[in-house]
Amino acid sequence: MRDWPYHSCRFFQRLVLRLFAKWEVVGLENVPPMGPLIIVANHQANMDPPMLVASLNRRVYFLAKSSVFSNRFVSWLLDAYGAYPLDRDKDMDIAAYRWVIKQLREGQPVVLFPEGTRSPGGMIKAKSGFAQIALHTQAPILPIGIVGTENMGPWVRVFFPTGRLKINIGTVFSLPDVQGKPSKEIIDSFADMIMDRVAQLLPESQRGVYGQQQDAPSEAP
């Protein structure tokens, strides 16, 4: 019963996407049907989380900046929707870190936007804490490229999304198990590698700081 806000919002978002936008989801078969999953995506607009909720066939959880939890009702609604507050002013929000690990240990998919803020002009350098979570939990990682939301603007556009919107889902992979405590250099290297996978799912013009990586074949539209 507690899940009704999530499913209601997903139904509404799918409806308006079909009515007003050219909405496309590619690679849905790559989403594991069960088990823990770290979903890593680029972040261009406030539209991105509801787009992922509407596009994926699993109930997902995600972090949201703490400032949007503005009152008790909004906090309740966001909690029911699957969001947990993240303090962006901290280098490492321990409470949010532990919450993500708890969801993964319970077999849930968690969406992370490692850039830490919206980057409609192209991907920016990610914060590497998410790679530390991936190493610690050894949960599978699913890269996703979100295309078309860079022009969405204010959050109210979730009610009338327009244009060509695409969710490009890559293939699942895992990080190698590192013995002992990984160094910052190792964590940063893994973070870049994961974000490179996300970048390959985007048009070259949206890859930003990850646009120089040409190691993997492009899966972008």
> In whole angstroms, what is the distance from residue 174 CA to residue 162 CA?
35
> In whole angstroms, what is the distance from residue 171 CA to residue 212 CA?
21
Set 25, 36, 37, 43: catalytic member = 43
Within 8 A by CB and 6+ apart from 65, the residues are 85, 86, 88
The three-class DSSP label of residue 79 is helix
Q: Is the dihedral of CA 97, 2, 157, 197 positive or negative?
A: positive
Neighbours of 177 (CB within 10 A): 7
**Is 43 noted as a catalytic residue in this protein?**
yes
> In whole angstroms, what is the distance from residue 126 CA to residue 115 CA?
4
The three-class DSSP label of residue 120 is coil
**Both structure tokens of 215:** 């190691």
Catalytic positions, written as ranges: 43
